[in-house]
Amino acid sequence: MIRVLIADDEALMRAGIRLILDTADDITVVAEVADGRAAVSACREADVALLDIRMPGGDGLTAAAEIVRLGVHVVMLTTFGEDSYVASAMRAGATGFLLKDTPPADLIHAVRVAASGELILAPQITRRLVEQHLAAPSGSSNARELVRQLTDTERGVLRLVGAGMSNAEIAAELFMGAGTVKAHISRILPKLDCANRVQAAIVAHDSGLLGS
C-alpha cells in the first residue's frame, strides 16, 4: 500500500485529490495538511508527499527539500507551469512535477511512479525544459569528476536516466533486465553523492554526459 500525504492550502483541492486517490486499491491517504511546515511534521508516515508550490506557513519548495531528506518521495502540484518552478522543484530533490489540471488517472499513475523513485513530469513539461533549466551550468567540472568514477555501463545507464527514461525504458534500450537497471542505479547514486535519480539526472546534465 502506497501511503500519501496531501499538502495544499485549499481544502477543496485536498478533498478532490483524496477523492481521486481513494479510487486506487493500492493507495491510501494518511494525512492532509494546509502548509509547508505541517507537511514536514506529518510526512514521516508517508511514502509520497503531494505538495502545492505556494502555501502559507512555509512554501512547498522549502518543505520539499526537508521532506526528501527524510526519505519521502515528493511530487509538486501547481497551477503554474513556469520553468523556474520546475528547476527549483527538481533541484530540491522532488521526484515529480504535475499541474493541478492533471487527469485523475495520470495523478494515480504519478503517485505509483513516484513511490518507485522514478521521475514523473507533467506532459506539458517537456524534456527540453529539463535540459535547459536543470543544467546550471552544463559541463560542471565537479560533475565530470563524479561521472568519471562510474563504469562504462553505469555511465550508459546514467545517460538514459538523464534523458528522463524509466527503468523499463532503460532496460529495453540497453538489453538488460529491469532489476539489473535498478541495481545499477543503486550503485550509481552513492558514487554521485545523490539522494535520488532526479539529482543523478542533474549530474548527468551538468557533466555534459547527454551530449556525448
Q: What is the DSSP string of 156-167?
A: HHHHHHHTT--H
Do 112 and 148 belong together in one domain?
no
Of 13-27, 73-87, 162-176, the range with the lowest mean pLDDT is: 73-87
Residues 133, 66: Cα–Cα separation, whole Å: 22
Output phi, psi for 14, to 5 deg: -60, -45
Higher pLDDT, 90 or 13: 13
Do 160 and 107 belong together in one domain?
no
What DSSP line would sit under 42-78, residue for residue?
HGGG-SEEEEESS-SSS-HHHHHHHHHHTT-EEEEEE
Quote the pLDDT of residue 51: 94
How many domains in the chain? 2
18 and 32 Cβ atoms separated by less than 8 Å: yes
Using a pLDDT cut of 90, give the percent of the chain over it.
Answer: 50
Tens digit of each residue's pLDDT (9 = 90 or more) over 80-105 = 666 667 777 877 888 888 888 889 99
Do 23 and 127 belong together in one domain?
yes
* Residue of 102, 100, 130 whose CA lies nearest to 198: 130
Quote the pLDDT of residue 32: 96
Task: Output the nine-digit C-alpha cell for 58.
Answer: 512555509
Single residue among 116, 131, 146 that ends a domain in this structure = 131
Cα within 13 Å of Cα(87), Cβ side? 13
Do 39 and 67 belong together in one domain?
yes
What confidence category does residue 118 fall into, taking pLDDT thresholds of 50, 70 and 90?
A: confident
Do 144 and 88 belong together in one domain?
no
Quote the pLDDT of residue 125: 62
What confidence category does residue 126 fall into, taking pLDDT thresholds of 50, 70 and 90?
A: very low
Do 17 and 79 belong together in one domain?
yes
Q: What is the DSSP letter of 100?
A: T
CATH of the domain at 92: 3.40.50.2300
Single residue among 99, 131, 163 that ends a domain in this structure = 131
Task: Output the nine-digit C-alpha cell for 78.
Answer: 501547481
Tens digit of each residue's pLDDT (9 = 90 or more) over 127-152 = 555 555 555 555 566 889 999 999 99
Q: In what order do the strands lie in the sheet with 96-99?
A: 27-33, 2-7, 48-52, 73-78, 96-99, 120-121
What confidence category does residue 43 fall into, taking pLDDT thresholds of 50, 70 and 90?
A: very high
Alpha helices in the chain (DSSP H): 11-21, 36-42, 60-69, 83-91, 104-115, 127-133, 141-148, 152-162, 167-174, 178-192, 197-206
Which residue range is the domain that position 39 belongs to?
Answer: 2-131
Is residue 120 within a helix (H) or strand (E), and if so which, with residue range?
A: strand 120-121
Single residue among 111, 131, 151 that ends a domain in this structure = 131
